[in-house]
Structure 1
Amino acid sequence: MGRAFGWRTSHPNTHTQRSGCGGRYGGHPGVRSGRTYRPCPLEELRQTGDRWTRGGPPRRSLRGLVHIWNLETRRPLAALDGHGGQCVTWLHTLPRGPQLLSQGRDLQLCVWDLAEGRSAVVDAMHLESVGFCRASVLAEGPQRWMLAVPGRGNDEVQILELPSKTLVSCLKPEAGARLGMPMCLQLWQAESSPRPLLLAGYEDGSLALWDVSMRKLCSRAACHSEPVMGLALDPRRARGVSGSAEKALAVWSLEGQQALQVRGTHELTNPGIADLKIRPDSKILATAGWDHRVRVFQWRTMRPLAVLAFHSATVHCVAFDATGLLAAGSGDQRISVWSLYPPT
């Protein structure tokens, strides 16, 4: 079987897809550097009768199905239904099996077995929060993972161990902090430290760094005046970026993996960022905009490279695969797949 992506949609028999149109600019299909352009993606996956929501590959939908697509044949392989028609808000693939995690508005986190064409839920756990904050996973060993999810309290984050589903800790700001709900989460572990850390973006626009093992708030920075809608971390450089409902990206660093420092902001043409992703080689940053645009930046300098004006509704999510392909999901019921500035 060829390379596959998972997309969250609704009706398993309503997919159409077509290849992107031709045309190249500077060696990159349908892109003009630094300019808004009506480009043509490498591939387009179209879903009718449903709307896409934010997330990273694999993708979710408002009606609760997860669709697995083969990007070489451009055909859907399977439709997974495990959330009773409720919106699926997050997906993550695990190397074991392979297996897939899905988080839904039905307060369930499902574990799917996808080996040898199977599509069975092999385990599930009840979650405490019905919000739209996506979970985050960190590998602790060949068969062990740490999971961060919104907790029962308004401002609480729970850390669990998988597959045992054991509650490891609850991370809750001090009384009176008034950070609001967690909006986005990212677990990570520096090579120089044995302890896992959690980055959390909150409703008040601040970003917080937690020491998971010590249950300690290490640092907090006021990055935005609006809720943090998405964040992306570059572990190699201990540097990251976040977006919100306002017209600016915030670039920040982690000094000694302990102190958050805002390094600057990058002004945008229009307000509203739904998602951000840094390519695995740490060279390219992509953002998903409320203005229907995907913006591409050189990550080291934040120099704008391209504005992809392909979609006709809010772009809710962007994601890179291991080879550098970029996928974008939009409320126009389409997913575009791009080959931009291929890794060398």
Structure 2
Amino acid sequence: MLQPDPSYHLKIQEPVHSINFLSQQLLTGTASGKIKFFCLSSLRSNFELKVSSNGGILYVSSDTETLICQDRQGIIKIYDLEKCGYVAKNEINTEHIGFTRCIKLMNRDLLLTPSGSSDINVYDLRTSIDPIYKLSSFQNDQVGQIMCMIDVSLTSQASETIFYLIAGFESGHLVLFDLREFKAIHSIKYDFPVCSVDYDASTNRGVLSSPTIHKIHIFGIDRLKMELIQKEAECIELQHSEGSKVAGISSLKIRIDKKCLFVGSCDGVVNIFSWKSLRKLATLRNHRNEITDIAFSAIPIDSFKSNLSAISSTDGTVSLWDIYYK
């Protein structure tokens, strides 16, 4: 089994909880409440922003105008980029104490956040510091805390783009929400907390897992009935090359080009699978502690002459990879 070396290893000097690419930069959210901006040409931090005194930054996202971040205590801060730098614009207290990240909807000024209950709150980023909608599951208080969520866009038979949300809960429920009417439309249940999830509309295949198990579970969506479908026959059981089971799964993501699935574990091991065949391609053993986030550049990084995949860990490092792009 291939065990390649990274293109580069960034040393952040403290646990890293979130990462995201911004053009030719990498943003890192740290345990001390800082966002560090790394220039990918010099591979050095050229700016940092102290955004929280409440613990680690679980989510960081930015475009050319706005930066959004979320800390461990559920506080979301929104900054505008002006000539003088980043200026605080808004602050939202989600009342969520946990590790569930918020989502900015694709091509819409809506922010979906966890809450202090099992509900998901919807905010209008342009106007509101209070929720404009609340998403509730069928089971309501029986599902426990929300653990993960992703937004999905599907094309209807009338060629209309419709937005949905897939959310995993502490109870093991996976719930599909219609974001036109902001309501739950279907759910299925697993016997473990659903803590990480991703979905690819082009293959109608999704993946989910949890730190409490050693498997990747597969699901799909019945596009006619708009119902979630469990595909238990396609489960992937993770094992080390010597046959022992890996630690539980802390993060998983399908790469933007739909060629690879990256699966990060609580022991720092990352397994890469072919997204087409689900065959394991490589095992990365460059991190010592839990994998906290995985991110992919949408464009080639000039200094590497390739797109990059980035992996962050509580060991205080971020590894950069150009594997399987060429």
Q: TM-score range by the shorter chain?
A: 0.7 to 0.9
Is residue 119 of structure 1 aligned with residue 86 of structure 2? yes
CA contact (8 A) 1:60 1:89 kept: yes
Are the aligned partners of 1:184 and 1:228 in contact in 2 as well (CA < 8 Å)? yes
Aligned to 2:153: 189
Q: Does 1:304 align with 2:280?
A: yes
Aligned counterpart in structure 2 of residue 136 of structure 1, from 90, 100, 103: 103
After superposition, residues 133-212 of structure 1 pair within 5 angstroms as 133-140=100-107, 144-153=108-117, 155-165=118-128, 167-175=131-139, 178-192=142-156, 193-212=160-179
**In structure 1, the residue corresponding to 2:154 is in which secondary structure?**
coil
Structure 2 SS opposite 1:228: coil
CA contact (8 A) 2:73 2:95 kept: no
Instruction: Report the CA distance between 1:162 and its aligned residue.
Output: 1.5
Sort the Cα spacing of 1:331 and 1:152 in 2 relative to 1 into closer, same or farther, 3 A.
Answer: closer
Question: Within the alignment, does 1:42 sit opposite 2:7 as a pair?
Answer: yes
Contact 2:74 2:98 in 1 (8 A): no
The code of the aligned residue for 1:262 comes to Q
Taking structure 1 as reference, are residues 107 and 315 closer, same or farther at Cα in structure 2, changes over 3 Å only? closer
Q: What is the CA distance between 1:210 and its match in structure 2?
A: 0.8
What amino acid does structure 2 have at the position aligned with 1:220? S
Deviation at 1:55, TM superposition (A): 5.7
Counterpart of 1:268?
238
Is contact 1:51–1:62 with CA below 8 Å preserved after alignment?
A: yes
Tell me which amino acid in the other structure corresponds to 1:226.
F
**CA distance, structure 2, for counterparts of residue 274 and residue 339 of structure 1:** 22
Q: Describe how 1:1-344 pairs up with structure 2 within 5 A.
A: 34-35=1-2, 37=3, 39-48=4-13, 50-53=14-17, 58-94=27-63, 97-114=64-81, 118-140=85-107, 144-153=108-117, 155-165=118-128, 167-175=131-139, 178-192=142-156, 193-223=160-190, 225-245=191-211, 246-256=213-223, 258-263=226-231, 264-269=234-239, 270-323=246-299, 324-342=307-325
CA distance in 1, matches of 2:230, 2:74: 34
Matched residues in 1 for 2:188 and 2:67: separation? Answer: 33
Please name the residue that 1:29 is paired with: none
CA change 1:85–1:130 in 2 (3 A) is closer
Q: CA deviation at 1:148?
A: 1.0
Q: Which amino acid aligns with 1:291?
A: D
Structure 1 residues 106, 114: CA separation in 2 closer, same or farther (over 3 Å shift)? Answer: same
Task: Single out whichever of 198-207 and 112-121 deviates more from structure 2.
Answer: 112-121
Shift of 1:116: 5.9
* Distance change (3 Å), C-alpha of 1:285 and 1:137: same
Contact 2:35 2:48 in 1 (8 A): yes
1:128 Cα offset (Å):
2.8
Normalising by structure 1, what TM-score? Answer: 0.80
TM-score (norm 2): 0.85
* 1:193-226: CA deviation from partner (whole Å, max 9, x where unpaired): 4542111011122211111232332221224x32
In 2 relative to 1, CA 117–329 (structure 1 residues): closer, same or farther, beyond 3 Å? Answer: farther
In the superposition, relative to structure 1, how do residues 272 and 115 fare at CA in structure 2: closer, same or farther (>3 Å)?
A: farther
**What is the Cα deviation at residue 56 of structure 1?**
5.2
SS of 1:178's partner is helix
Distance 2:174 2:52 in 1: 31
Name structure 2 gaps, 5 residues minimum.
22-26, 240-245, 300-306
**Letter aligned with residue 249 of structure 2:** I
SS of match in other structure, 1:190? strand
Deviation at 1:124, TM superposition (A): 2.4
CA-atom RMSD in angstroms: 2.2
Q: What is the CA–CA distance in structure 1 between the aligned matches of 2:198 and 2:258, rounded to whole Å?
A: 11
Structure 1 residues 307 and 43: CA distance shift in structure 2, 3 A = same
Partner of 2:138: helix, strand, or coil?
coil
1:136–1:148 Cα contact (<8 Å) kept: yes
Paired amino acid for 1:268: L
Q: How many residues align?
A: 300
Work out the percentage of aligned pairs sharing the same amino acid: 24
Distance 1:55 1:203, change over 3 A: farther
Whole-angstrom CA distance in 2 between matches of 1:295 and 1:60? 23
Aligned to 2:242: none
Offset, 1:331: 1.6
Mapped to 1, the partners of 2:80 and 2:140 lie a distance apart of 43
Give the partner amino acid of 1:259. Answer: E
Q: CA deviation at 1:254?
A: 1.3
For 1:128 and 1:281, the matched residues in 2 are separated by: 35
Question: Against the structure 1 CA distance between its residues 317 and 139, is the aligned structure 2 distance closer, same or farther, given a 3 Å change threshold?
Answer: closer
The letter for the 2-side match of 1:157 is I
Q: Distance in 1 between matches of 2:171 and 2:139?
A: 15
